Structure 1
Amino acid sequence: MSPVANQGALAGLRVIEMGQLLAGPFCGQLLGDMGADVIKIEPPGKGDPMREWGQGEEKVQWEVIARNKRSVTCNLRVPEGQQIARDLIAHADVLIENFKPGTLEKWNLSPESLHATNPGLIVARMSGYGQTGPYSSRAGFGGIGEAMGGWRYIVGDPDRPPARMGVSIGDSLCATYGAMGVLAALHHREKTGEGQVIDTALYEAVLQVMEGLVAEYDYNGIIRERSGSILPGIAPSNVYSCKDGPFMIGANNDAIFARLAQAMGRPELAEDERYSTHVARGKHQAELDELINRWTLTLTIDEVDALMVEYSIPAGRLYTAPDMLEDPHFKARESIIEVETEGHGKLKMQNAFPRFSKTRSGVRRPAPVTPGQHNEEVFTELLGWSAQDVAEKRERGVI
């Protein structure tokens, strides 16, 4: 797949991505999808461990998170490599890093020193606990952020230990807030010319999506507990069993519940004092779920789905990847695209998101196959090196 014309909203923005695994690279993916030129610095040799992540014998997760990026290698543990990184960053609008706090400073790449030569630079820093505070020096992964931020404790069935999502949600949230911070900092820079540092902690990114968890404890003394497939007091909203599998129904609103009662052939339920109001349904949540489940068990998923559409009730199938690939709505909106990758041929993956009315996000180039694939291209373009310079530094292990 040859690079295609860049029509993204961030076209012309140059991002240096320093970091490994998920948070930093996913932030880079989001900005790259929107048009930024993302230059990823990998350590010489094996490169980012993300190259070996994912399920299946052939690892393809890298093809998603490294799309729209150019890869260069640089040994950041030696002064010459640090200077190369500094020179690259001098040509950048944004630096993304997700190392342990203090690492950039140890490598003589502190934001203060980088701003001395590039005052408009925006530095997005992602870490487990943030750049300040008593825990800042601790190592942190996404799962630890999910635990500290309150997510892990409330996920799972009440009679079992805390569970997790099947994806690294803590890293993805941190990366998303990091990208949001970059966009806000760009707006500030447009007005003032000043760059700044964005401090994004994994645990605080998770904390942001915890809704009223802290306020409910502060005011009502309530500690949220694991509740399985429901939200306590929000009913009906659950996964129910049909003849041929599970189906999700969300009718936790008086008018919508009345329509569900009609779809079930039980319109009187909407007038029943146990179910007629939001609070009443919450108090009788378990028995209401059982009542609905007895009804769905008499029908197939297709039959329940058709009734939900007819009565305008929020509901849906529990999709797996094959379902997504076959669904007409996914196809109509091009939610999933096919990318001609260099490493694995044609590969289906999620499209860029969100959508814009005036600019077009997307996949312009596939993920780099090898670490340092674009060394000569980038170092020649930005630093004025010759092919001989590239070869000599590669020979010495600097790149």
Structure 2
Amino acid sequence: MTQHPNAPTGRIVSYAPDAAGPLTGLKVLDLSRLVAGNVLSVQLADFGADVVKIEPPEGDALRFWKEAGKELYWASYCRNKRSIGLNLRDPKAREILLDMVRTADVLVENYRPGTLEKMGLAPAVLHEANDRLVLVRISGFGQTGPYSPLPGFGTLVEAMSGFAARTGFPDREPVLPQNPLADMMAGLQGAFAVVTAVLARNEKGVRNQIVDVALLEPLFSTMGTDLAVYRQNGQVAPRQGSGSNGSAPRNVYCCRDDKFVALSASTQSTAVRVFDVIGRPELKDDPRFATNTTRVEHREDLDDALAAWFATKTRPQALAAMQAGEVPVAAIYDVADISADPHFIEREVFVEAEDEDGSYVPMHNISPRLSASPGAFRCPAPRLGEHSDDLLGALGYGLDDIRALRSAGVVI
């Protein structure tokens, strides 16, 4: 009997509101919208930072990335955070924000470069209120350079970083990633930058720190030696599908049951074992396949031999044979495979969080895993303005003041 896809298969999260983490005590104000900033701040929040989303009256645009009517992105990347709604077009809202800045450690924003200045919240203004503040500025192409004014959409960065040009097959158009890869990479690198900047402040006395996170640079840093190779030989590396310019055999192969596997045999000893497993030991003495360099040069011939073997085996048969021969091979998984896989379940790669309607939302677990000071699930993603009253109260506003601010459209 097939399990319903909405039935939880992972561990159900139990929230621990008072759980401490290695970043407990770190106060983060997150003005960002959509993906990069929220990926950055959820990394900090998962490990104990008090992250407050400063949302516009309509809410962070990530709330509107819905699937089946549900705010799944919001649930996954805004867990462990609080929310206050502020209309920053109003001078009083900017005054409230500056009051919050005075006791904050970090502020994250991803407006187009120059927008923060136009709002009257330039770095100098923020640092005048609190010179210990680490200001993180996320944009598509950075705060400087001729492309800095361009919109910071990840798609543009994925196009211009070299990533799309290297992805896909040589006889077809370049391929963009299906997920917001540039944003995700920038968010993860940005979280590292925040911890580094806070350490520099606490240990070295650094003040007035600005962290310039461009979506372009983290993604470009993953492109390996493409630029160096081009500089050496003047050739632009072509798209290779799932193959590699650096090693062979390395590709995706279709099995008899129309299921796919991925294989990588980048060392000499591994390549030799591949030839034994597919019943072609004579290939070890073939000069076309004697070294990695010659195997790359004759990649198509090598792939033909492997493809012919995989076509005679079901995926379970192919995996069993390759693994018995100590060849690195894996099934190409989709999310249905992941949802039922025992390793994902036992290791809790994903967990299940209860939604407001009583259903469960699977999401990535807290990562990386720290043995002595792990992160924790303290609360689900907040409703818009869910914590406005508490946050304003901490600034000294009374209930009547808060009602007046809400009536005036300053606070949500």
Alignment TM-score > 0.5, same fold: yes
Is the 1:237–1:250 Cα contact (8 Å) retained in structure 2? yes
Report how far residue 346 of structure 1 moved: 2.2
Report how far residue 21 of structure 1 moved: 0.9
The answer to whether structure 1 residue 311 and structure 2 residue 325 are counterparts is yes
Structure 1 unaligned runs (5+)? none
Q: What is the aligned counterpart of 1:66 among 78, 93, 101?
A: 78
> How many angstroms apart in 1 are the aligned matches of 2:90 and 2:238?
49
Match of 1:48 in 2: 60
> How many angstroms apart in 1 are the aligned matches of 2:387 and 2:191?
24
Match of 1:176 in 2: 188
Report how far residue 59 of structure 1 moved: 3.7
Match of 1:375 in 2: 388
> How many angstroms apart in 1 are the aligned matches of 2:203 and 2:299?
52
Q: TM-score, normalised by structure 1?
A: 0.95
For this pair of structures, how many residues does the alignment match?
396
> How many angstroms apart in 2 are the aligned matches of 1:94 and 1:335?
29
> How many angstroms apart in 2 are the aligned matches of 1:206 and 1:238?
23
The answer to whether structure 1 residue 214 and structure 2 residue 232 are counterparts is no
Report how far residue 101 of structure 1 moved: 0.8
Q: What is the aligned counterpart of 1:167 among 179, 200, 204?
A: 179
Match of 2:39 in 1: 26
Match of 1:118 in 2: 130
Match of 2:9 in 1: none
Q: Residue 274 of structure 1: SS of its match in structure 2? A: helix
Report how far residue 286 of structure 1 moved: 0.8
The answer to whether structure 1 residue 14 and structure 2 residue 27 are counterparts is yes
Match of 2:10 in 1: none
Deviation per CA, 1:105-154: give whole Å up to 9, x if none: 11222222212221111111110111112222222211111112111222
Counterparts in 2 of 1:343 and 1:92: CA distance versus 1, 3 Å: farther
Give the aligned residue type for 1:58.
K
Report how far residue 13 of structure 1 moved: 0.9
Report how far residue 378 of structure 1 moved: 1.8
Structure 2 unaligned runs (5+)? 1-13
Give the aligned residue type for 1:241.
C
The answer to whether structure 1 residue 240 and structure 2 residue 276 are counterparts is no
Is the 1:241–1:297 Cα contact (8 Å) retained in structure 2? yes
Q: Residue 303 of structure 1: SS of its match in structure 2? A: helix
Q: Residue 198 of structure 1: SS of its match in structure 2? A: strand
Q: Residue 362 of structure 1: SS of its match in structure 2? A: coil
> How many angstroms apart in 1 are the aligned matches of 2:145 and 2:194?
23
Match of 1:132 in 2: 144
> How many angstroms apart in 2 are the aligned matches of 1:100 and 1:263?
55
Deviation per CA, 1:15-60: give whole Å up to 9, x if none: 110011111111111211222111001101x201111114334342
Q: TM-score, normalised by structure 2?
A: 0.92
> Superposed, which structure 2 residues align to 1:149-298 within 5 Å?
149-195=161-207, 196-244=209-257, 245-298=259-312
Match of 1:332 in 2: 346
Report how far residue 272 of structure 1 moved: 2.1
Is the 1:97–1:126 Cα contact (8 Å) retained in structure 2? yes
Report how far residue 355 of structure 1 moved: 1.0
> How many angstroms apart in 2 are the aligned matches of 1:345 and 1:9?
31
Give the aligned residue type for 2:321.
L
Counterparts in 2 of 1:384 and 1:313: CA distance versus 1, 3 Å: farther
Give the aligned residue type for 1:201.
A
Match of 1:363 in 2: 377
Is the 1:342–1:367 Cα contact (8 Å) retained in structure 2? no
Give the aligned residue type for 2:22.
A
Report how far residue 233 of structure 1 moved: 4.2
> How many angstroms apart in 2 are the aligned matches of 1:103 and 1:37?
26
Is the 2:98–2:129 Cα contact (8 Å) retained in structure 1? no
> How many angstroms apart in 2 are the aligned matches of 1:43 and 1:352?
28
Q: Residue 175 of structure 2: SS of its match in structure 1? A: coil
> How many angstroms apart in 2 are the aligned matches of 1:224 and 1:77?
48
Q: Give identity over the alignment, percent.
A: 38
Report how far residue 344 of structure 1 moved: 6.0
Q: Residue 211 of structure 2: SS of its match in structure 1? A: strand
Report how far residue 276 of structure 1 moved: 2.0
Report how far residue 183 of structure 1 moved: 1.4
Match of 1:394 in 2: 406
Deviation per CA, 1:212-240: give whole Å up to 9, x if none: 11111112212122221212242111110
Counterparts in 2 of 1:262 and 1:2: CA distance versus 1, 3 Å: closer
Give the aligned residue type for 1:357.
S
Is the 2:159–2:176 Cα contact (8 Å) retained in structure 1? no
> How many angstroms apart in 1 are the aligned matches of 2:247 and 2:15?
50
> Superposed, which structure 2 residues align to 1:77-156 within 5 Å?
77-156=89-168
Counterparts in 2 of 1:145 and 1:343: CA distance versus 1, 3 Å: farther
> How many angstroms apart in 2 are the aligned matches of 1:390 and 1:380?
8
Is the 2:15–2:377 Cα contact (8 Å) retained in structure 1? no
